[in-house]
Structure 1
């Protein structure tokens, strides 16, 4: 079925789940559950894996282009991690197609964004790979030329995943040369010591230095390095000169 396309009546969540079940590897499932920290008290506690690697998932869903959003939502609500990832990859594709239409299909984009936000808010985009594979591709195009208050709301959320969604959405803006919202969110989350937020803050700052302007990065570090966590500062300074890294890390 994969890569060949399916009849319209077969564009269902159940068909995607069957495709993924055929690819599942129990040994990989055990490894993935450890890798994504699904044990008691860990950030992915209770998540369920069937053992399908990301490239396999991406290849499998290519056969299901055009699946109704209601069926994608079924995937997003699944307890199985790979099902949710498949749904997000498909949602990315739908957003890209809606964005490519002449003038953009705002109504379709809005529908996709609403579906995504509902999944985020009900805790279904709930691991770093799910956030990183979706936020910039779904919310990024929608918010680039719109008010971004939502991202500040997410950055203030008690949910680790909503805070990471806020940061990772801005990767789309950085790639367009706009560092403004990323800087605001990094300042807002400066004292957040959760490891996955520390890494996201440092990563996005590093990307500003690489893709927008190194002076913007060093300006932020001049103002905030002393208050940054060790992990965020390490990520942010990764591509600076050895002398700059020593200078900024000494500020802590």
Structure 2
């Protein structure tokens, strides 16, 4: 591709903007003040695949935009680079550092979930994970969501310890979108290690936020679900 920069990405993306799609986004994403131009996420992701070679400085330019779809595009490119086996270690480090340094621009649940598992979790897979516990204690709800979302990468390999430990830190979280993420990844961890999930629920179900518990027990059999709901 001749022009591989943020400006060309934006030009191409804006070719697909649609007022009806913009209104749908505005109805769906009621939480926050993002600007939407009305480009379907499937189109954003397809364009990100074309622009997979975008370097970190150009990705940061996209992250600086007020347009939600442009930031989603940047994070989709980051995710695709992090997933790609031939991406070198120094680029993986750059992506990880960019994500954390510009977390101020990763300010909605879908943006976190787009890149946290592979960009953050993938980078930390063979490294100390203290940063996730710092994020879990942050005053910023999106950083707390990143902490639990990043563990999705570990869950894939059956490494569920950090998911349960971070979920324990988030039990008293005030935010619904953190409850949902925590419950969802507890459920995924439980698919890998059902005994560990049941032990966690026996200890914590009584104090878990309702939506967190509901998400966490979705894959259990009906009698087990009823048991843990009764503990509340």
Query: What is the TM-score normalised by the length of structure 1?
Result: 0.89
Q: 2:64 aligns with which of 55, 67, 77?
A: 77
5+ residue gaps, structure 2, are none
**Does residue 1:215 correspond to 2:195, yes or no?**
yes
In 1, distance between residues paired with 2:36 and 2:206? 40
The answer to whether residue 22 in structure 2 is matched with residue 29 in structure 1 is: yes
RMSD between aligned residues? 1.2
1:229 is the counterpart of 2:229: no
The equivalences for 1:51-66 within 5 A come to 51-66=38-53
CA contact (8 A) 1:77 1:84 kept: yes
Q: Contact 1:193/1:229 (CA < 8 Å) preserved in 2?
A: no
How far apart are 1:68 and its partner, in Å?
A: 2.1
**TM-score when normalising by structure 2:** 0.96
| Matched-pair contact (CA < 8 Å) for 2:34–2:66 | yes
Structure 1 residue 138 displacement after superposition: 0.3
Shift of 1:225: 0.7
Runs of 5+ in structure 1 lacking a partner?
Answer: 1-5, 38-42
Structure 1 runs (4+) greater than 6 angstroms displaced: none
Deviations 1:115-159, CA, capped at 9 Å, x for gaps: 111121xx1111111111110010111111111111111110111
> Are the aligned partners of 2:19 and 2:38 in contact in 1 as well (CA < 8 Å)?
yes
- Mapping of 1:1-252 within 5 angstroms? 6-7=1-2, 10-37=3-30, 43-44=31-32, 46-97=33-84, 100-101=85-86, 105-120=88-103, 123-210=104-191, 212-252=192-232
